[in-house]
Amino acid sequence: MKRIYFIVCFMLSALSISFAQTGSIKGRIISSDGKPAQHVSIGIKGLKIGSVSSEDGNFSINKVKSGKYTVLASYVGLETLQKEVEVIEGQTTTVDFTLSETANQLSEVVIKDASQYKTNEVSSSLRLMTPIQETPQNIQVVTSKILSDQQVISMSDGLIRNVSGAARLEHWGDLYANITMRGSQIQAFRNGFNVVSSYWGPLTEDMSFVDHIEFVKGPAGFMLANGDPSGLYNVVTKKPTGETKGEAAFTMGSYGLFRTTLDLDGKLNKSGKLLYRLNLAGQNKNSHRPYEYNDRYSVAPVISYQIDDKTKLTAEYTMQYAKMTDVGSYYIFSPKGYATLPRDFTTMPPGLEPTKIKDQSLFLNLQHQLNDDWKVTVQAAYLNYQQRGSSMWPSTVNPDGTMIRSVGIWDAQSEMTLAQAFVNGKITTGAITHRILGGLDIGSKDYIADWGQSHALDSTGAAFNPASPYYGKPVNGFPSFDRTTSLEARAVLAGGSMDQKYTGIYLQDELAFMDNRVRLTLAGRYTYVSQSAWGGSPETAKHFTPRIGLSVSIDKLTSVYALYDQAFLPQSGKLSRGSVKPITGNNTEFGIKKEWADGAWNTTVSFYRILKNNELTSDPNAPVNSGLSIVLGQKRAQGIEFDLRGTIVRGLNLTANYAYTDSEITKVTEGVTDYKTGDVIPGFAKHTVNSWLSYKVQKGALQGTGISGGFTYLVDRAMSNWSSTNTETNLPDYFKLDGGVFWEKDKIKLTLNVFNILDKYLYSGGYYTYLNAYNWQTEAPRNYRLSLAYKF
């Protein structure tokens, strides 16, 4: 590996020397109050080359022929500055600009004229110093504008339509997102931390405190944490901007939806060094199924303090409270086939005790700029999740469709303490620029749950009959669970404990050759993990995962990339047969990224192949709440993904995507007879097509009026879980059409969207062998949301 590294570096260095008959221009842009100004466009008059200032205000333009030039600095909506410079062969000319506006004024301009549906940068929580266009990986960002236009209110609320190939399986409604992509469930992150502590979490984030969501496709554990080779999503929360502003919004809709949010942003002292952001939300929400509701409340204060010109401390606390009906209410069961009961059918009896959840988190982030080229970040997080509730599930489904409904206790607690420290820097050796990333990642996660108590609502001879449902007091009455002992003690008895402790060290060097036209990424991570689950003994593992990527700029707006990466994810479980080994996998990927109309919109096309070994999967012959698993063997996912997003013409914003996903078993563990080579992996659609278009009239009598709409089309869907007896593995194709109108003027915006316009019976589902029954979750019939937002 070292020999290959030096050969590649030597060849690229030699090649770069042949291009060195030029000079370069670098500099820094600051605001009038001395703060770095990012996203400032830098160009050379008469030439089609340029740059954009980074987060720290720095910029560079390479491969400039010797001579005298006029350098232009332009900011959205502001006057263009210019300076005369002379470029000398083989040397770097420095030119700095100071804008007449303050940082707060610049922030206000950006907010008014920001890109609508696309962004060129990722958040600092992804660690990268490289723009998305130059990164050798497929990264898609769902912006705040998209969330607002589509009236997305939580992570489970239609958000995945904006990312190619993303899908949801059995998801317990709005309790957990559980997003799959590239053949597996992807990991959930928040502000750069992996916040998954069990098979079901985390609680879906309310969008009131979310700024945007970053989807990283393929392995990214080298820089963030242990993760699945299919990818992750990173929820980035709102931070103070330094501008004094606010927004209040009210939303009402079908099925008793009433929602209010408040977003306050401003200064806590005159100097502007101490800033705050406060987001509040309250929601009452029923369902198209009777007796079902989901009430949510959230509080999210953030404080940032600029200690000095180079050091900033940010602290944020988030509390989410949820009160909802038993999560089993989302499911329908029948031995007669999918969609054989009305879509508003429920097995939920009114009067069953609700599930209550309190989810709290605290994030601390300290950033220190050592100099223009080096920055250190240290951050820590503490997350605490408390749940008191139950899960309703049938213990028996009879051939005639009658069933015995059973309610199991589900009290749970999750506690995570996480910490990270990393450094970003840049050095130059000859004609090669190195972007360095290195860091330490440690964490401790504990999850305990009591699901050891159950109560049958019905009895033999008095079974619940879906053909003639009775929603009065159940024959056996409502459950009264024994909670006299501590949750810790009850979890031990039920085998409901999971824990994980890990330490990871990683290093990445991105080498830029030929004036940053060619970028070679070499990285590696060493991870040590101790983990246990279901009351089993701890399993320890350690592993080194390498990464190599190549990104080449064909021109200023086009780049191609190739990536080889590995993943490592220890696992533990209660096995029906076989032994537990860590998940290992690798991803090989190629892609092309293209900016159109001077960066107003972009496209990404990627081709990938993922191999994943030793993954545990639930035993299809065991009850869903038994916790029993078997080792699958090896599975392969491969496919093509296309994403388009941005402003096509002024006023017209579009996000559209397509994914072809082919996922199947390639090896079966010896002794396992439930699956065979070539079996389709459940829980995805072979073809996924999404779009959302929004157009706003720019002038005239209808100025500010707009129309928007989009669809989701899923073809050749595999059911959501394995079955060793049911051969009907496919679900029918899925098509959903949504659309609406909006009007905005000055500080007011009115939005009306109608979902499932065609009023189709939409669902996802699977087949449970041990029940000999189909199960499915229905989506709402045609429904609407009306929002009024006021900015001040």
Task: Kindly report the CATH number assigned to the domain that includes residue 145.
Answer: 2.170.130.10
Of 206, 237, 268, the position where a domain reaches its end is: 237
Q: How many helices (H) and strands (E) does the chain have?
A: 4, 48
Q: What angle do CA 190, 373, 236 make, to 5 degrees?
A: 15
Average pLDDT per run of 10 along the chain, which is 792 residues long? 43 41 84 79 80 79 86 74 88 88 60 66 86 92 95 92 88 83 89 86 92 89 65 94 93 97 94 94 96 96 94 97 92 94 95 95 96 93 96 94 96 96 93 93 94 94 95 95 95 88 93 93 90 77 88 94 83 60 83 92 95 74 62 86 94 96 84 76 88 94 95 89 65 95 94 98 90 92 97 94
Q: Based on the fold, state whether residues 225 and 289 are members of the same structural domain.
A: no
435 within domain boundaries: no
d(CA 656, CA 558): 19
Beta-bridge mates of residue 736: 712
Give the C-alpha separation, 598 to 399, whole Å. 63
Residues 280, 222 share a domain: no
Q: What is the pTM of this model?
A: 0.85
Per-residue burial over 395-406, b if 16 or more Cβ lie within 10 Å, else e, is: bbbbeebbbbbb
| 165 within a domain of the structure (yes/no) | yes
Q: Which helix (H) or strand (E) holds 296?
A: strand 294-308
Q: Identify whether 664 is part of a domain.
A: no
* 171 and 297 part of one domain: no
Cα 738 vs. chain centroid, distance in angstroms? 22
Q: Does 323 share its domain with 384?
A: yes
The DSSP element (H or E) to which 17 belongs, if any, is helix 2-17
Q: Is residue 364 part of a domain?
A: yes
Clarify whether residues 378 and 253 are in a common domain: yes
Cis peptide preceding 202, ω within 30 of 0: yes
339-343: long-range contacts, CB 8 A cutoff, minimum separation 24:
339/761, 339/763, 339/776, 340/774, 341/466, 343/288, 343/761, 343/763, 343/778, 343/779, 343/781
268 with 221, same domain: the answer is no
> Domain for residue 190, yes or no?
yes
- The confidence score (pLDDT) of residue 234 equals 94
Residues whose CB is less than 8 angstroms from the CB of residue 543 and which lie 6 or more positions away in sequence, other chains included: 526, 527, 568, 582, 584
Which bin fits 182, alpha (ψ -120 to 50), beta or left (φ > 0)? left
Same domain, 287 and 362: yes
Domain end among 66, 84, 100: 100
Question: In Å, how far from its chain's centre is CA 691?
Answer: 18
Q: Is there a single domain that holds both residue 271 and residue 376?
A: yes
Residues 257 and 277 in one domain: yes
**Where does 633-693 have alpha helices with state H?**
none
Residues present in the chain in total? 792
**Is residue 541, in this structure, part of any structural domain at all?**
no
Domain range for 205 is 124-237
* Domain-ending residue, one of 211, 237, 263: 237
Answer yes or no: do 255 and 377 share one domain.
yes
Domains identified in the chain, total number: 3
Pair 225, 261 in one domain: no
Q: Check if the beta carbon of residue 444 is closer than 8 Å to that of residue 416.
A: yes
Q: Is residue 619 part of a domain?
A: no
**In whole angstroms, what is the distance from residue 669 CA to residue 672 CA?**
6
Token pair in block for residue 70: 């006029």
CA separation (Å) from 369 to 56, 67, 306, 373, 468?
9, 34, 12, 8, 69
Answer whether residue 491 is part of any domain.
Answer: no
Q: Are residues 364 and 289 in the same domain?
A: yes
